[in-house]
Amino acid sequence: MSDRYSQIVNSLPGRLIAGRVGLPQPTPLERHRPGAPVLAGRALLGAAPGGRLAGPLAKALADAGVETATVDADELRSAAADAGLDAAIFNAGAGGEQRFKALVFDATGIADSTQLVELQRFFHPTVRRLERCGRVVVLGTPPAACSGARERTAQRALEGFTRSLAKEVGRGATVQLVHVAPKAEGELASTLRFLLSPRSAYVSGQVVEIGPPVVKKAPAVDWERPLAGKRALVTGASRGIGAAIAETLRRDGADLVLLDVPALASDLAAVAKALDAETIELDITEEGAPAAIAERLSDGVDVVVHNAGVTRDRTIAKMPEERWSTLMEINLSSEERIDDALLEAGLLRANGRIVCVSSMSGIAGNSGQTNYATSKAGVIGMVEALAGDLAKRGATINAVAPGFIETQMTGQMPIAIREAGRRMNSMSQGGLPVDVAETIAWFASPASTGVNGNVVRVCGQSLLGA
Amino acid sequence: MNPKTRPVAVVGGNRIPFARSNSAYSKASNQDMLTAALDGLVDRCSLDGERLGEVVGGAVLKHSRDRDLTRESVLGTRLAPETPAYDVQQACGTGLEAAILVANKIALGQIDAGIACGTDTTSDAPIGLNEDLRELLLDANRERSTGGKLKQLARLRPGHVVPAIPRNEEPRTGMSMGEHCALMAAEWGIGRDEQDELAALSHHNLAAAYERGFNADLVTPYLGLERDQNLRPDSTVEKLAKLGPVFGGPDGTMTAANSTPLSDGASAVLLASEEWAAERGLPVLATFAEGQTAAVDHVHKREGLLMAPAYAVARMLDRAGLTLQDFDLYEIHEAFAAQVLCTLRAWEDPVFCRERLGRDEPLGSIDRDKLNVNGGSLAAGHPFAATGGRIVAGLAKALQERGGGRGLISVCAAGGQGVVAILEAPGDGATAKKTTKGGKR
Amino acid sequence: MDQRTLTRPPSILPLYARAAAPLVPGASLLPFVPGRGAEVPDVELTLPDVEPQASAVADYARVCGFAVRATLPPTYPHVLAFPLHMAVMADGRFPFGAVGLVHVENSITVHRPVEIGERLTLRVRPTKVEQHPKGRTFGLVSEAHVAGELVWESLSTMLRRGGGGDGKAEGGERGTGNGREAPAGTAAQWKLGGDLGRRYAAVSGDRNPIHMHALTAKPLGFPRAIAHGMWTKARALAALDGRLPDSYRVEVRFRRPILLPGTVAFASAAGDDGIDFAVRDARKGTPHLDGRVEPLQTKQSKQTSGRKRAK
């Protein structure tokens, strides 16, 4: 699983040689450590005039304890004052050596393409001040929610900017666009914390949608243990990404119910023991599986993570039906049935979460993976289909779409394919299972009440399907 | 105890021209300069043989021999030798703090008249014994026998002759004041241009003040200097823009021109009760209405070292029932152009005013045409403890000259301190609103 | 009168050589060596455009205990005039060599304080030889003018021991020359270092060997180096700093020399019409210097009392 290339090019001689011959030099990514601050450095807050998020952003930054500077604009300074954000002033013309760990820009004020220059004005003098593994978050309005054609055009344009900037920043930095729907201004906290923190180390070039909250009153959250008192089901939890998800949710305070097939019972037991978890040894494709799960979760469940999945690669010309169907059962159909069973029995508790694991293949497609990509695209469909319904129930459904994640499975790939997968992204490296798990934990957080119907790729901004 | 207070008059002031370090006054000691400043004031206000309530003064850089610097200086003047004196030291706030101390005693009726003064030399600076040598000598002194003394003295090493030269460095942060101010400039986003503009304006204003004779009864020539040596009437933003930064690294915005130079000089200002002044036919230029000090925790709370005046002014305004706009003149000590600009910016800033000052609304902007109208420290120079007296006397005269009004003084000081005050002069010129009754709490 | 105007201050060292030359037996027969004349020549030396340097004044002030002020210490013009004194006494027609002369009295009249930066014209001339109980005396009158205005003058009375005199001692041991009682008590003690003579020499230019070192003082009859009389006077005036009016006359009589190093006591007594002061040996009370400051009647009065009082 070790990424020897990264180790070599990050050694001193390796760095020199790689630099000379133009090889990619991946920056070691910072990852979250318990107790660490949201942002290990200063954030700079900027805004296009007339935006609606300066206040909410200032409040979210203040609540997150992020040391912040703002550009010297009255709107921002007043907003910061009102939010209790003790922010310094940054004046690009003043010189100095100030550097920032994060650049946060409220672009909601951009209502016309002529105003897109505000992006240039803010980022041109600041992007070089972004530190290693820095974070850029641009906030806009969902184009569909814009009032006029000009505004919609301009807001849609932001995506081109953030996706390109994500490819320019380098050095482990990430760039995201966050669409904040009207009436969702108060829902920034969990998403901003996730995107600013090292938890989102391998998430870049993404567009995140924040909508109105699915519950009337968002609960108070202990940000170190947001899932304290919550019950979470994780399928496919005995290995790899599943085990990382279990660990991460446990770290966040969840009581776990871990599920895997009987064949992996011993692996599952080992994971469960370490995490003080219940286990369900079950083949989810069995006919009685949904009922059995509902039975075990008769007290209700807060978070359901559909992680179980398999690959059965073959081109369609060589694909027998059995190979297609087994995969589809595991990766998609069983998930639908389990969801139905839990929802029908009313077992998904208030402010509940369903989190699915899609795949980059489900978005970009992949030769030899018609079956897999179909199932994972189906997962996206499921998220889109259920989001509205679940919102009405006060719950959310979202999906992660991992790119190249370093697991046992990728470790067995032929080296050429493995290296291509690792390097063909903005980070020039593969992600870790924990990167997927952190993203899932963000979706699962009871504070993420406005995050619904999202499919967020954890791919280091892979070149594929971008 | 006397519960009543009475108005305190600023009667007159005097200073010697300020010299650049190691120049015109390189041979003059603090005591020499303070004596000269005091004697000039004695002449100007006819205080020959007068026994004043007290003289309060000090210096920031003091020799160990200058234990009672102010008293010794008084003894060298024509004031009655029966005039008591004591030293104070509050870094660059020394001069203004001395004025507050004298004013308070007059207000309480404990004295009728007194002089606040200050002096500093960076040329005749105290150089201490090498700390190791000092300890060695003390050890030797403690030995009773000659043999013991010799044994201690045998520890002498060549390195011991390296003296301890006082450094302009904050003891708890190890950074110079300029470096601290560079941090503030960065924190407040203060640009190079605005600093240079302030510096050039300071020179122009001071030059104009000399030209129209404003300083004729404020400054007495000394050792061949008739005007402040640092004054460059032909300063322009373009010329200043050519200088390289001296603080804040290669990208820094602070230069030798928009930072005050090391300087030598002394000043004194006579305060008295109105009755005392009237008895002697001396004018009341202005009254010393308010004084306030404040300090910030620049070590642990991420506060700018020189931001304390921003706090002090806010508190003083609250006490006096005034707003920042209720002034006709503002005297903000230009330790660094950036310090002035940071302070002004802080008062305008909703975040600073809310978070640090606990106010719902910012203090707001001032009319920059009222700021340091007769020049500031950037042009005049800044012999640390002498600056307060320069400003008090200059502002009092400026208020009287314009036919009344109210003036604000703000002086930043090392150690994260600030000393501020309000002077008022009655008359038609007083456009700003009167102090609200009962403002003093 | 022989009036000569110099363009620069005479250089001191050659003057010393000539001043000391009469000590060599027979040397006074040479035309350029002083000691031949019976009467002082009627000569006046003028040195225009003297601008005291602030830095040199400060050094002088420091050694004498004056504050460094915008004005000259009252004794400073004397230092400026000193080279002219030497030049006058080195004149071949002069009856005495300068070395061996004793400075017995000095009277300075300050008509107004002299600002540093003012250009002075200095004039020096000798007065006639007079008989003295211990020998013969003559005076050296020095004047400082600013743009034609007499601002300062001084009369130094020099004694040549022996060779005349009626042998009567003048004045009591404790009295001043004007018959006043010298003030008693100790207002201040001054601890004088062994290097005082050399330090004063460095700032005044007066490098008379009797002040420099025991080794150079012994051949001239002193067990150790002695303090300059004008230093003692300056130090006494410095002690009165701040108590002095703008225009005044201060006269002193030099009594016993102060051996260095040593400790002396200073005393002063202010009356309605002036201040008396004295410097004595701290332990034995032996008088070193008596003096008196008297304010002038008006600042404008161009008194020439110094000259009148010349005996």
Residue ranges and CATH numbers for the domains of chain C are 1-167 (3.10.129.10), 178-299 (3.10.129.10)
- A327 shares a domain with A428: yes
For residue A159, pLDDT over 60 is answered with yes
Lowest mean pLDDT segment, chosen from A9-23, B93-107, B415-429: A9-23
Task: Look over chain B and give the mean of its residue pLDDT values, rounded to a whole number.
Answer: 91
Mean pLDDT of B173-183: 89
Cβ neighbors of B33 (< 8 A, separation 6 or more) are B16, B25, B119, B121, B222, B264, B265, B266, B383, B386, C68
The residues of A that are catalytic are 372
The pTM (predicted TM-score) of the whole model is 0.82
d(CA A431, CA A311): 19
Question: How many structural domains are present in chain A?
Answer: 2
Mean pLDDT of B193-221: 97
Q: How far apart are CA A383 and CA A402, in angstroms?
A: 16
CATH code of A325's domain = 3.40.50.720
In a domain, A6, yes or no: no
Q: What percent of chain B has pLDDT over 70?
A: 94
What is the distance between the alpha carbons of residues A370 and A300, in angstroms, rounded to a whole number? Answer: 36
Q: How far apart are CA C19 and CA C101, in angstroms?
A: 10
Q: Is B29 on the interface with C (CB under 8 A)?
A: yes
Q: Let me know: does A297 contact A343? Beta carbons within 8 Å.
A: no
- Average of per-residue pLDDT values in chain C: 84
Contact flag A95-B252 (C-beta cutoff 8 Å): yes
Residue in A84, A85, A94 closest to B191 by CB: A94
Neighbours of chain C (3+ CB pairs under 8 A): B
Selection from A253, A20, A237, A40 nearest residue A131 by Cα: A40
Task: Clarify whether residues A367 and A437 are in a common domain.
Answer: yes
Q: Yes or no: say if B29 and B260 are a contact pair by the CB < 8 Å rule.
A: no
Q: Are residues A89 and A204 in the same domain?
A: yes
Contact call for A97 and B249, based on CB within 8 A: yes
- Looking at residue C300, its pLDDT comes to 43
Residues A105 and A235 in one domain: no
For residue A384, what are the contacts with CB-CB under 8 A and spacing of at least 6?
A453
**Separation between Cα atoms, residue A138 and residue A177, nearest integer Å:** 5
List the single residue in B with minimal CA-CA distance to A80.
Answer: B351
A128 pLDDT above the threshold of 90:
yes
* DSSP labels, B82-131: T--EEE--BTBTHHHHHHHHHHHHHHTTS-SEEEEEEEE-SSS---BPPH
**Cross-chain Cβ contact B185/A94 below 8 Å:** yes
Residues of C in contact with B264 (CB under 8 A): none
The domain boundary residue, chosen from A150, A181, A210: A210
The Cα C136–Cα C156 span in angstroms is: 14
Residue A226 lies in a domain: no
Q: Which two tokens stand for residue B281?
A: 């036919």
| Residue the block writes with tokens 């210490």 | C73
B26 touches chain C (CB under 8 A): yes
What percentage of chain C carries pLDDT values higher than 90?
53
Q: How far does Cα B233 stand from its chain's mean position?
A: 22
Burial B309-334 (b: 16+ CB within 10 A, else e): bbbbbbebbeebbbebebbbbbbbbb
Same domain, A235 and A333: yes
Question: What is the rounded (10 degree) CA torsion for C169, C174, C178, C179?
Answer: -90
Kindly state whether residues A176 and A100 are assigned to the same domain: yes
Q: Let me know whether A247 and A184 are in one domain.
A: no
Contact C242 B223 (CB under 8 A): no
What pLDDT does B62 receive? 87
User: Which residue is listed with tokens 């020096």?
Assistant: C124
Contact A5, A419 (CB under 8 A): yes
A16-A17-A23 Cα angle (round to 5) = 110
Query: Do residues A327 and A242 share a domain?
Result: yes
Does the pLDDT at position B87 exceed 60?
Answer: yes
C-alpha span between B319 and B435 (Å, rounded):
10
d(CA A289, CA A304): 15
Q: List Cβ neighbours of A295 (8 Å cut-off, separation of 6 or more).
A: none
CB-CB under 8 Å, C70 with B32:
no
pLDDT exceeds cutoff 90 at A230: yes
Span C48-101, pLDDT tens digits? 999 999 899 999 999 999 999 999 999 999 999 999 998 888 877 777 777 778
Distance between alpha carbon B425 and the CA centroid of its chain, in Å? 21
Please tell me the predicted confidence (pLDDT) of residue C306.
33
Q: What's the rounded Cα separation, in Å, for the pair B68 and B82?
A: 15
pLDDT at A252: 96
The boundaries of the domain holding residue A166 are 31-210
Q: Which two tokens stand for residue B251?
A: 């990208």
The answer to the question of residue A218 being in a domain is no
- Do A124 and A252 lie in one domain? The reply is no
A17 domain residue, yes or no: no
Which amino acid, one-letter code, is at C53? Q
Asked if the Cβ–Cβ distance from A80 to B350 is below 8 Å, we say yes
The answer to whether position A20 is within a domain reads no
- Angle (nearest 5°) at CA B373 between B370 and B376: 120
* Residue C37 and residue C160 in contact, taking contact as beta carbons nearer than 8 Å: no
Q: How many residues does chain A have?
A: 466
- Which of B16, B76, B224 lies closest to C67 in CB terms? B76
| Three-state SS annotation for chain A | CCCHHHHHHCCHHHHHHHHHHCCCCCCCCCCCCCCCCCCCCCEEEEECCCCCCHHHHHHHHHHCCCCEEEECCHHHHHHHHHHCCCCEEECHHHCCCCCEEEEEEECCCCCCHHHHHHHHHHHCCCHHHEEEEEEEEEEECCHHHCCCHHHHHHHHHHHHHHHHHHHHHCCCCEEEEEEECCCCHHHHHHHHHHHHCHHHCCCCCEEEEECCCCCCCCCCCCCCCCCCCCEEEEECCCCHHHHHHHHHHHHCCCEEEEEECHHHHHHHHHHHHHHCCEEEECCCCCCCHHHHHHHHCCCCEEEEEECCCCCCCCCHHHCCHHHHHHHHHHHHHHHHHHHHHHHHCCCEEEEEEEEEECCHHHHHCCCCCHHHHHHHHHHHHHHHHHHHHHHHCCCEEEEEEECCECCHHHHCCCHHHHHHHHHCECCCCCECHHHHHHHHHHHHCCCCCCCCCCEEEECCCECCCC
Residue of B32, B38, B43, B44 to mutate, testing the C interface (most C Cβ within 10 Å of its Cβ): B32
Contact flag B251-A96 (C-beta cutoff 8 Å) = yes
Mean pLDDT, residues A124-143: 96
Residues C238-287: pLDDT tens digits?
A: 999 888 998 999 999 999 999 999 999 999 998 888 999 999 998 988 99
Identify the pLDDT of residue C28: 52
B contacts of C55 (beta carbons < 8 Å): 26-27
C–B touching, 3+ CB–CB pairs within 8 Å:
yes
Taking CB atoms and an 8 Å limit, are C58 and B75 in contact across chains? Answer: no
Nearest to B192 among A74, A78, A95 (CB): A95
Nearest residue of chain B to residue A92 (CA atoms) = B189
Omega before C261 cis (within 30°)? yes
Residue-level pLDDT at A51? 95
Q: What is the Cα Rg of chain C in Å?
A: 18
Residue A41, phi-psi category: left (phi > 0), alpha (psi -120 to 50), beta (remainder): left
Other Cβ atoms closer than 10 A to A321: 7
C51–chain B nearest CA distance, Å: 11
Report whether pLDDT(A45) > 70.
yes
| Residues in A lying within 8 Å of B, measured between beta carbons | 69-70, 72, 74, 77-78, 80-82, 84-91, 93-98
Which is it for strands C120-126 and C262-271: parallel, antiparallel or unpaired?
Answer: unpaired
Give pLDDT, residue A293: 96
> By the 8 A CB rule, do A104 and A43 touch?
yes
Give the DSSP per-residue string, C87-114.
Answer: HHHTSTT-SS-STT-EEEEEEEEESSPP
Reply yes or no on whether the pLDDT at C298 is more than 80. no
* Cα B171 from Cα A430, distance rounded (Å): 49
Q: Please compute the mean of the pLDDT values over residues B331-345 and round it to a whole number.
A: 97
- Is the confidence at residue A19, as pLDDT, over 70? no
> pLDDT digits over B256-276, tens only?
999 999 999 999 999 999 999
**Rounded Cα distance, C71 and C112, in Å:** 10
> C242–B78: do the CB atoms touch at under 8 Å?
yes
**A409-to-A240, A311, A360, A400 alpha-carbon distances in Å:** 8, 10, 15, 18
State pLDDT tens for residues B363-372: 999 999 999 9
pLDDT at C163: 62
CA distance B91 to B97: 10
CA distance B223 to C58: 9
Inter-axis angle of helices B337-348 and B308-320, nearest 10:
50
Give me A303's structure tokens.
Answer: 């978070």
A113 and A186 assigned to the same domain: yes
More confident call, C17 vs C62: C62
Average pLDDT over residues A266-276: 96
Picking from A155, A177, A210, the residue at the C-terminal end of a domain is A210
A 10 A CB-CB count for A4 gives 7
Q: Which of B246, B247, B297, B351 to probe the A interface (max A CBs under 10 A)?
A: B351
Tell me what the mean pLDDT of segment B84-98 comes to.
97
| Probe site for chain C from B15, B16, B22, B35 (most C CB atoms < 10 A) | B35
Contact between A338 and A381 under an 8 Å Cβ cutoff? The reply is no
Q: Which two tokens stand for residue A391?
A: 């919102």
Q: What spatial distance separates the first Cα and last Cα of chain B, rounded to whole Å?
A: 18
Task: Looking at the complex, report in whole angstroms how far the Cα of residue B208 sits from the nearest Cα belonging to chain A.
Answer: 30
CA distance B70 to B117: 8
* Greater model confidence, A413 or A402: A402
Position B342 pLDDT exceeds 90? yes
Q: What is the pLDDT of residues B404-438, one digit of tens each?
A: 999 999 999 999 999 999 999 988 665 555 444 43
DSSP structural state of residue B322:
-
| Nearest-angstrom CA–CA distance, B278 and A360 | 91
B196 neighbourhood in chain A, CB within 8 Å: none
pLDDT surpassing 90 at residue B394: yes
Token duo for residue B63: 């020799």
Q: Is B179 an 8 Å CB contact of chain C?
A: no
Q: What is the pLDDT of residue C277?
A: 95
Q: Which two tokens mark A414? A: 């032929």
A252 and A186 in a common domain: no
The set of chains that have 3 or more CB pairs under 8 A with A is B
Cβ-Cβ contacts under 8 Å, B83 against chain C: none
Portion of chain A with pLDDT greater than 90, in percent? 83
- Sign of the C-alpha dihedral computed for residues A85, A91, A94 and A97 taken in this order: positive
Distance from CA of B293 to the nearest CA of A (A): 23
Write phi, then psi, for A414 (nearest 5 degrees).
-60, 145
Q: Do B35 and C67 touch (CB under 8 A)?
A: yes
- What contacts B244, CB < 8 A, 6 or more positions away? B255
Enumerate residues 71 to 100 of chain B having a beta carbon within 8 A of any beta carbon in chain C.
75-79, 81
A198 inside domain: yes
**3-class DSSP state for residue C244?**
coil
Contact C242 B79 (CB under 8 A): yes
Which residues of C lie inside 8 Å of B (Cβ-Cβ)?
54-55, 58-59, 61-62, 67-70, 115-117, 241-243
Residue A1 inside a domain? The answer is: no
- The identity of residue A228, as a single letter, is A
| Phi then psi dihedrals of residue C15, to 5 deg | -65, -40
Same domain, A195 and A235: no
Distance CA A160, CA A119 (A): 12
Which of B248, B249, B349 is nearest residue A77 as measured by Cβ atoms?
Answer: B349
Mutation to test the B interface, candidates C53, C59, C63, C68, most B Cβ within 10 Å: C68
- Residue that is written with structure tokens 């050519």 in the block: B242
What are the residue numbers of the active site of B? 92, 382, 412
Give the model's confidence band at C309: pLDDT under 50 very low, under 70 low, under 90 confident, else very high: very low
In a domain, A13, yes or no: no
- Predicted pLDDT at B360: 92
